Structure 1
Amino acid sequence: MTVVLVNLGGMLFRGIYRALPAAAVATVLATTAAASPATAAHQQRDPVRWAGGWGTSLIAPFPDFFGEPNWSGGFDNHSVRQVVRVSRGGSTVRIRLSNVYGDGPLRLTGATIGRAAEGAAVRAGSVRPLTFRGHRSTVIPAGREAASDAVRLRVSPLERLTVTLYFDGPTGPVAFHPLALSTVYRAGGDHRFDTDGAAYGETSTASYFLSGLDISGPTKGSGGTVVAFGDSITDGAITTLDADNRYPDELAERLVAAGRPTGVVNAGIGGNKVLTGMPGFGAAAVERFRRDALGQPGVRTVIVLEGVNDIGAGEAAGTPVTAAQLIAGHQALIRAARWRGVRIIGATVTPTKGCPYPGYDTARGESVRDTLNHWIRTSGEYDAVFDFDRALADPADPDRMRAEFDAGDGLHPNDAGMRALAEAVDLRQL
């Protein structure tokens, strides 16, 4: 995984940096901040109250992800098995699938869900077929998303579930998440109902099509859904594979321990920026916020940690972003959340001193980061502030991450650093 991120850091600066006009961004978000059409339509038909048990943000196909091949070019007569850990419990589940970046209709032959065992195996007796409007197969138009019907399956907080998708024909390009930090399995042919996992001889560390797993049912003290929205730090880059040590995972554990079962959805994308998008790093935050944050079922609170890549990429490309531009982008997100009645919390941008990636450790960039963080802390525009910067900073050199939290590149926190971020969250503010 470290090699992938080093390549990723190097490639980050070869695109064209282009800051969107902040006023235009604010206008677009203020007038369109509604749930994604697919989610909203399904909620109108479905009286069940859902919360996000697990989620991820997808990007356009990128089959050779900076030197690391993946399966986003498409599937053909393949079963794809993905394991996710849910943040809360309940009695009923559904999945959400995305064809937002497809170039044609996506034909899903069938899908199942069950309790995860070791690796690609599923616990015997737990596999349930999933249906879509009463049918085991479905077609999702290009640019759209679809939710399955509800299925009865009692799950506990922090339990791991396995979702298997089968495509009997070519899918075309695949919406995917490149840094899943979870092993995904593939088999030739239809192996939806297999429990032993023996057929799943291929693996990937990216995830495909699956954008969410929602949960409903009587849960005492349920707090809806919290969305952690951000870049590679929220995404969990350089944390341990298959260990669920991203800061949103650690936050879910804290909520469970506190007796506050709350859905936590990770809407982080590695390399993501506030103002601009780029192939491999997803749409700009101001473009994807409506779908990836406000479109989550039961969303009550969004935590925003974004800006470090705008600063670093701009510095590297010789087109530096200003603090005023970044502040305007954050203000657009705030206005969009307020329009929807969603609580929005700002997280300060974490230290970058000593980062070897071009543009991430410059005096001008540090000045922009300091100005942005001062605004987040003192402006009062966010509903609350989580000071992630100070949670990770070295007391002797506050522009640098503490050594015990550094994954090795001066930018990304390790497992211990992710825990420190989760501990910096005041649960009362959620």
Structure 2
Amino acid sequence: MDLSRVRRAAVPLAAGSLAVGILAGPGQAAPAPVGWTAAWGASPQAPSTGFTPNWSQEGFSGQSVRQVVRVTEDGDLVRIRLSNRYGTSPLHVTGATIARTARGAAVEEGSVRRLTFDGRASTRILAHGELRGDAVAMDLKRLESVTVTLYLAGTTGPATFHSQGWTDSYRAQGDHRADTTGAAYTGRTRSWYYLSGIEVGRAKGGPSVRRAGESEDGVVVFGDSITDGFGSTPNADRRYSDALAELTGRPVVNQGIGGNLVLNDSAWYGERATARFGRDVLDQPGASTVVILEGVNDIGFSEAARGPNPPATYKPAPVVTTAELVAGYRELIDAAHDKGLKAVGATLLPLKGSDHWGPHAARVSDEVNEWIRHSGEFDAYADFDKALASPSDPDRLHPAYDHGDALHPNDAGYRVMAREVAEVLGR
């Protein structure tokens, strides 16, 4: 599918999405427009069983859901982005708050801010729609955690969510938006629900507080479970995107989906990369660069499907050629360039010994990596393949970087990935 058509056909943001400042009071001058920057993100997915237990299929009814995220940009205004992309009926959000995270489900005393949507406490998001809320004044420092609480008084039905949050989210019966303790939040999962973005701005004007030489250019990391952070330590913010934000000082938004494919949609692992790129990358305010790491599932699912007990979630699993995968990359590169973004390619990591490995995957991964290195079609590339390879066998992950499945890195491996990208970005 042509990505320019995908962008034009995207569902418009609902009322409240274009709020660019705080409403002026009587006798006050209207504030200057705000330049927004995406400071955190999670790509929406259809309700599914996921990798770990979650609430997406049962949804919510008369409950509060509290979610913790870490922002990668500072500012004195904040707004949230909500998605009902995979809902089959309108989503009624009775109310929402944002606060500084304390510990677990608890938030800091005095930090709770009530959120509004087009000036109202509640909002209705149509099926397949999304919206941005109004701006609220809140001084935020980059790399601090905030807690967003949604109160859903009605019955939502199955919920749009992001499966692999690697951070605890909490659920309570009743309206506990304003609670500072986490006592009422007795349910817990590691997924995010409806919340798909946090954006920050500055009402006071002037540059953000940064170390000398730091850039304000936002980076979107786009890919599959390796980008999503599979195997990183939960509740520790040790994905490669987290390390990249720490190393560069840039805003970094993670748009990985575990199991995602470049060329095929999946009931479990999201829309194909070429279909979701417009929503997940091109609609991120303040972004100037996208790092693309995807394709290992396109070539690996067909290998896994030949095993004795192939996972049902790996279907469809067609045998994908190098030429087909390269065509998908070109579509992503062209879309990024059309929007004025720099496209950084990342070589596929070594995968020998994993369930994705086999003769076809071995050949295609090598061919794809050589194309990424030498074609010149990406603006730059990060060579994860070489950086994380075992010194005794370049087709295998280095044992020091292996989470344990010969496919996904551990915290140390993700840190190496971040250093590779930081070097490419000039940090």
Q: Normalized against structure 2, the TM-score is what? A: 0.89
Q: In the alignment, is the contact (CA less than 8 A) between 2:222 and 2:281 conserved in 1?
A: yes
C-alpha contact 1:51 1:224 (8 A) present in aligned 2 = no
Counterpart Cα distance in 1 of 2:325 and 2:154: 44
Q: What secondary structure sits across from 2:58 in the alignment?
A: coil
Q: Which runs of 5+ in 1 are unaligned?
A: 1-24, 257-261
Q: Measure the CA separation in 1 of the matches of 2:424 and 2:232.
A: 27
1:29 lines up with 2:7 in the alignment: no
- Aligned residue among 200, 204, 208 for 1:219: 208
Assess if the C-alpha contact under 8 Å between 2:97 and 2:113 holds in 1: yes
Higher relative contact order (CA 8 A, sep 6+): 1
Which one has a larger percent helix, Structure 1 or Structure 2?
Answer: 1
Letter in 2 for 1:238: G
The 1:56–1:119 alpha-carbon spacing in structure 2 relative to 1, beyond 3 Å, is: same
1:374 matched to 2:370? The reply is yes
Aligned 8 A contact 1:42 1:147 in 2: yes
Deviation at 1:73, TM superposition (A): 2.4
Q: Please give the residue correspondences for 1:140-219 in structure 2 after superposition, counting only pairs within 5 Å.
A: 140-217=125-202, 218-219=207-208
Q: Which residue, out of 113, 116, 119, partners 1:128?
A: 113
- Give the SS at the match of 1:97: strand
Q: Taking structure 1 as reference, are residues 223 and 66 closer, same or farther at Cα in structure 2, changes over 3 Å only?
A: closer
Aligned residues: 395
Structure 2, unmatched stretches of 5+, are 21-32, 307-317
- Of residues 249, 271, 278, the one that matches 1:283 is 271
- How big is each residue's C-alpha offset from its partner over 1:201-223, in whole Å with a ceiling of 9 and x where there is no partner? 11011110000011112415552
- In structure 2, the residue matched to 1:354 is 353
- The residue that corresponds to 1:343 in the other structure is 342
Counterpart AA for 1:419? R
Cα contact 1:92–1:154 (8 A) shared by 2: yes
Q: How big is the shift at 1:45?
A: 5.4
CA spacing shift, 1:70–1:282, aligned 2, 3 Å: same
- The AA in structure 2 aligned to 1:161 is V
Computed over aligned residues only, the root mean square deviation of the Cα atoms, in angstroms, reads 1.8
Query: Of the candidates 232, 247, 258, which is equivalent to residue 254 of structure 1?
Result: 247
Give the Cα separation in 2 of the matches to 1:242 and 1:98.
23
Distance 1:387 1:428 in 2: 10
365-374 vs 290-299, which deviates more? 290-299
Give runs of aligned pairs for residues 67-86 of structure 1, distance below 5 A.
68-86=53-71
Amino acid at match of 2:377: E
In structure 2, which of residues 403, 414, 419 is the aligned counterpart of residue 418 of structure 1?
Answer: 414
Aligned to 2:313: none
Q: Is 2:84–2:159's contact at 8 Å kept on the other side of the alignment?
A: yes
Pair 1:98-2:83 in alignment: yes
Contact 1:255–1:427 (Cα < 8 Å) also in 2: no
- Would you identify which runs of 4 or more consecutive aligned residues in structure 1 move more than 2 Å? 30-47, 64-73, 314-319, 426-430
Q: Is the 8 A contact 2:91 2:156 kept in 1?
A: yes
Residue 251 to residue 309, structure 1, CA distance change in 2 (3 Å)? same
Partner residue of 2:304? 316
Given the superposition, is the C-alpha separation of residues 386 and 67 from structure 1 closer, same or farther in structure 2, using an over 3 Å criterion?
Answer: closer
CA 1:300/1:36 → structure 2, altered by over 3 Å: closer, same or farther?
farther
Q: Is the 8 A contact 2:11 2:128 kept in 1?
A: no
Q: Say whether residues 1:391 and 2:387 are aligned partners.
A: yes
Q: Please give the TM-score of this superposition, normalised by the length of structure 1.
A: 0.88
Q: CA deviation at 1:72?
A: 3.7
Q: 2:238 aligns with which of 241, 245, 250?
A: 245
Cα separation, 2, equivalents of 1:285 and 1:41: 27
> Is the 1:315–1:321 Cα contact (8 Å) retained in structure 2?
no
- Please name the residue that 1:8 is paired with: none
Q: Is the 8 A contact 1:36 1:295 kept in 2?
A: no
The CA distance in 1 between the partners of 2:112 and 2:129, in whole Å, is 27
Counterpart check, 1:325 vs 2:324 = yes
Q: Is the 8 A contact 2:19 2:134 kept in 1?
A: no
In the aligned structure 1, how far is the partner of 2:106 from the partner of 2:14? 34
Asked whether the equivalents of residues 34 and 290 of structure 1 are also in contact (C-alpha less than 8 Å), the reply is no
Task: State the Cα deviation string for residues 122-164 of structure 1 (Å, max 9, x = none).
Answer: 0000000000000000000011111110011001111010000
Aligned-partner SS, 2:226: helix
> Deviation per CA, 1:332-357, whole angstroms, max 9, x where unpaired?
001111111111110011010011x2
CA contact (8 A) 1:252 1:264 kept: yes
Tell whether 2:47 aligns with 1:54: no
Checking the alignment, whether the CA contact within 8 Å between 2:56 and 2:160 is kept in structure 1 is no
| Displacement of 1:90 | 1.0
Q: Is the CA contact (8 Å cut-off) linking 2:351 and 2:357 kept in structure 1?
A: yes
**Residue 403, structure 1, aligned to residue 408, structure 2:** no
- Once the two structures are superposed, residues 144-200 of structure 1 have per-residue CA deviations (whole angstroms, 9 ceiling, x without a partner) of 111110011001111010000001110122111111000000000000000011000
How far does residue 269 in structure 1 lie from its aligned partner after superposition? 0.3
Does structure 2 retain, via aligned residues, the 8 Å contact 1:39–1:295?
no
Match of 2:285 in 1: 297
Q: Is the 8 A contact 1:35 1:290 kept in 2?
A: no
Structure 2 SS opposite 1:70? coil
